Every structure is written in structure tokens, then in C-alpha cells.
Chains A and B, each alone.
Chain A
């Protein structure tokens, strides 16, 4: 009796799954066509047999970090639409598809495999470090070219087929410490970092190691975790009591906006100094930007820069998605164009195998000089790290101004 019941319910569950499997087939095809909407219409004029280049991306599209993954997926869509409108790459149209990994390395690998089944030739991802690291194991095995826009942990580019657009964590920690030291911004520095986050603790580590060489003292280094990131009163109070004149925040703008608000209510006003994760703070809906006055950050991208490229990108992004893009999006946008430039350099075609494309890109990317949203001159070496200058900006009257 009891067994019968559980049997029936299992069958019901299986039937439901079968239903979704069937449903998935259809809708999967649907999304592929919508992703390459412009492709379908223009493919007729495209070259041989309507073959296309296929760009895949992976990032957290749902869950607490969805803001970052969506910025990446949206920006790639935007860049691909532009490229297609301008005649594609080497005369071939481009398709893109973004998959969700929920900030979970295991699901990131699943997403990678899904994209592989779809026929992906280049991976722009994963968006976050731990996920990218796990996926790089697979791309290495398959010899697929991987260009991560924003995975910044040192090990992410360990394999020779993996490159990145953003700065590495150690690089950012070092650059921040050197900038603070060189400009004598403070002699006593406090740090608030996320000890449960790979990105944040990575930057913190190199920053703290470099501090003694730069003539300033780290007077308080306090952590928070993903499970307790609403109240920062203790961390702020400790920095205040230790007399920190500058507060280094190697964290994302989501938490930083809370820290700024809380520092304001307790009447503590040191110089705040952030890294690229801080970009986006001015675009938080309803945020009192006067709180961010005087905030300095090292970032390769500023959404309100006035060069044509940025202005166009930000405008198109806002028109299409109703939000202002952040540096994740900018890195991803650049990634698409970097791959485009490499492909054009070698005249590659979509009928080449994934592995051949990877070999060709690997040898080309180290020779090109790319220009994009996040830098005018980007070059890569075989280690996978980009060479570009971080820009130090300071927020004045609710806008970024170059700091010098």
C-alpha cells in the first residue's frame, strides 16, 4: 500500500520531469533564435552556408550575485548585436548565449557543458573566480579559448588557454597599496573586507603584505562574511578608534553602499578607497550620492566617462536593459571585441574546430593591442594577464573625476 503510493508519486514526478524535458527542447531552441535575432535576418547575406561564430558566457543570473552575471550577459548581447549590425566578424554573423551558474562552481561546469552542446566556440566567463577556476579545468581539457571578463583570482588563468580582461586580485591589492603610498594619502589605514569572498580576501592579502613597503600602517583589518553583511558598525567603530584616516574597501559596491551610509550616521568620515568592485555605487537606485563624495577608487571603467565609446555603450545599455552598466559589463563588452579583433587578425572562420580556433587565438592575443572601454591600450602576455593601467578616480559632485 505504502509502496504503491510512493511509486505513484514517483511516477508523477518523473512524468513532470519528462514534461519539462520535452518543454525544454522547444524553449531551448526559442532562446537560441532570440539570442541571435539579428542573426537570422541577416544571415542570408552572410558568407558560406550561414555559419556563425558562437560566443558563450557563464555567470550568476539568479541568486545574490545576479547583478554581476546579468551585466556580463547583457553586455555581450549588446556587443554581439552591434557586431552583427556592422557586418559580423570576417563576414560571419555572431551568436551568443548566456547560462546561469548561481555563483556555484559545480553549476558553472554544468553551464559550460550546456554551452558546449550548443556549439560554443569561445567562452567569455565565468564571471566569478571560483566558477571560472572550475570551468578552466574543462576548457583546458577541450582546448577551448576562454577569456574571462571578471574572474580575478590569481589561479584563474593558470592554464595557457585562459586569459582575462580584468586585473588580477594580487595586482589590484598591490596597485592600491602603491597608489596610497606614492600619493601619501594616509599613514594609518583601516581595511574592511569580506572574508568569505575569494575576490575580497585575495585583494586584502596582497594589500596588507605590500603596506609596510609603502610607508603606511594598517591599523585595523576587520572582516565580515556573506552571512553577516548588514551591520558594519563594529568594523567602522574599530577603524575609527584606531585612528584610521583612510579606509580601504576591497569589496563590491553592494556592501560598500551600506558601509558609507553607516559611517555617515556614526559621524565617521575618513577617505574611502575602493577597487574595481566599487564601480556601480553611483548608479544604485535611490542612493544618496553625497555619501560617496570624496570616495577614491582604482577602476579601469567609469560609467560616466565622456569618451564616445563609453557614452554610446552606457546609452545603448540603458535603452535596452533599463539599468546602468558596471565594470563587469564593460569587461565583458571588451572581451567580445578583443576576440573579434583576434579573429580578424587571423581571418579565422567558424568552420574551424574549437581547438584550432583556440590555438589561433592563443597565439594572436599576445600580439595585439586592443582598445576598449576599460583601457585604451590593452596587451596580453602568455600568462593570461592583461597589461593595462588602472585609473584612479575620485567622486566629486556625484561624478567620477580623474584623481591626480
Chain B
């Protein structure tokens, strides 16, 4: 019985990781860059919703839409200003470091605008959730909404990538930028679109993250961001279903290890399992095998 409770708790944490990981893996798969600022896009989304819903007492729906639009703009602008000039740089690390710069920038900007004190976020999900076995077994509304949302996003993304022209272009760019360009694909536009989608997903993830864990601070995106990144690697970075599975597995492992092994060492255990998985499957659960050719 209590195992079931813990499992459900793991599922609810995992669903949050999964939805963040979706955005991460999407950008990585196509632009081939680790957008370290992704976690901070989430933070921006949360503050936008908070400002509209709590400070200006606006409608939740309006808040989410505004956050999605703003994050999309932010993502596209960041890509244009900070990442695009570095495309084709001598080392892929250059853009990684710039992403870290962007992350510092967003965190410190939020610190200046909103202050360091935490703010409490009102859930965007009003539904209380399901209750079984006389209330001992509860599934929170936000958990169900998160899982449903991530499944919907997963399906839509898969359809988009495999069925539309733009999606096909993304696949082509992911496969080989140069060849894609020769085939008449507008690589710049495709990457911009990827960032737009990734950042919009960050806004949605932010709304759900803060509904589940309603504490708002300028640094709120950093840790879930890095955990979601781990989840994305775990599932095979670049693979969209992999991110979903990776996120759920990571959440469940984290909760169960904290329950049954040690609450002090749970971080170490989670990372330990990641290492073991990667040693057995060096490109993650669903990652493509890279065959190195001479």
C-alpha cells in the first residue's frame, strides 16, 4: 500500500521532469546544443504567469498564453542574438558557455526585477485530483494534468515532426545541416522554429512545475533544469519518447531511493543509477547508436 503511495509520488515528480525534458531534448536534437538557459526560460514563464494572475489578478488562461508568447519570443531572440552567431564556431563548447552566460543573465535580471524573496504560486490546476482507498491513496490533479499534457505534447510533437513539412525539415537539419541546406531547406528558419517550440514548452512546463511545487524564486529553474537534462540523457538525448520515459523513471527512482535507502544520499543514488544505465546502454535508453566511421 505505502509502496503504491510512493510510486505515485514518484510519478508526479517524474511527470514534471518529463515535461521539462521534452523541451530540452527537442532543442538538443535539432540544434545540437545544450541550452543551459532552458531552466531559466521556465523561471521566466513562471514569473509571467505569477505577475498576470496574482499581481494583476488576471485570468489563469490569459497568464499561460502570455507566458507561452513571451517565452517563445525570448527563446527566438536569445537564439538570434547569442547562439546563432556561434554556429560554425571552432568548438561546440563555445555555444554551451554562451548559454551559461544567458542563464546567469536571466537569473540576475529576475533577481533585480522581482527581488530575492520567494513568492507563492497559485496552482493553475484547480482540480483536486482522484482519491482512492478512503483517501489514503491520492493522485493530485496537477499530476494527472501534467502527465496528460506531456502525453499530448509527445503525440503532437511526433505528428508535427513526422507529418508536416517543417517537421521533416527539422529531421533533415538534425541529420545533416549542410546537406539540408543543399536540399533547399532554410536551416536558420528551422532552428528558430525549434527554439520557438522548445521555449513555448518551457513556459508550459513552468506553469505545471510551479503548480506542483508552488515556490517562486529567480533560481527555481536551475535544479529542475539540470535534473530534466539528466532525464533527457537517461532516455537518450534527442529522442522525444526517450525524454518522457527518462523523466518518469528519474522521478520514480529519486522518490523510491529516498524512501527505501537514504534521504541524505538520494542524489548520489539517482546519479549512480544514471551512470550504471549509461554504462550498459552508452547512448541512453532510446538513443540512437552512433557508429563511428573512419
Contact = CB atoms under 8 A, between A and B. Distances in A.
B286 to A, nearest CB: 25
A228 B16 CA distance: 14
Given A286-B50, A286-B54, A233 B120 contact: no
A211 B12 CA distance: 35
B121 A286 contact: yes
Contacts of B150: none
Interface in B103-148: 108, 111, 115-122, 135, 138, 140
A35 interface: no
Interface size, B (range): 35 or more
B5 interface: yes
A234 B259 contact: yes
Contacts of A261: 120, 214
Interface stretch (A21-29, A85-93, A235-243, A339-347): A235-243
Contacts of B2: 237, 241
Interface in A241-292: 241, 254-255, 257-258, 261, 265-267, 283-288
A88 to B, nearest CB: 31
B9 A233 contact: yes
Contacts of B119: 284-286
Interface size class of A (residues with CB under 8 A): 35 or more
A62 B116 CA distance: 8
B1 to A, nearest CB: 10
B120 A67 contact: no
B39 to A, nearest CB: 12
A224 B219 contact: no
A285 B116 CA distance: 12
B164 interface: no
B215 interface: yes
Contacts of A266: 138
Contacts of B5: 237
Interface of B: 2, 5-6, 9, 12-13, 50, 54, 108, 111, 115-122, 135, 138, 140, 213-215, 217, 219, 223-224, 254-255, 258-259, 263-264, 266-267
19 contacts: A62-B111, A227-B223, A228-B223, A228-B266, A231-B9, A231-B254, A233-B13, A233-B255, A234-B9, A238-B259, A241-B2, A254-B215, A258-B213, A265-B140, A266-B138, A267-B135, A283-B117, A286-B50, A288-B120
Interface of A: 62-64, 66-67, 69-70, 195, 222-225, 227-231, 233-235, 237-238, 241, 254-255, 257-258, 261, 265-267, 283-288, 322-323
The 4 A-B pairs with the shortest beta carbon distances in the complex, nearest first, are A66-B116, A287-B120, A233-B9, A285-B119
Given A64-B217, A285-B54, A322-B115, 10 more contacts: A64-B219, A70-B115, A227-B267, A231-B254, A233-B9, A234-B9, A234-B258, A267-B135, A286-B50, A323-B117
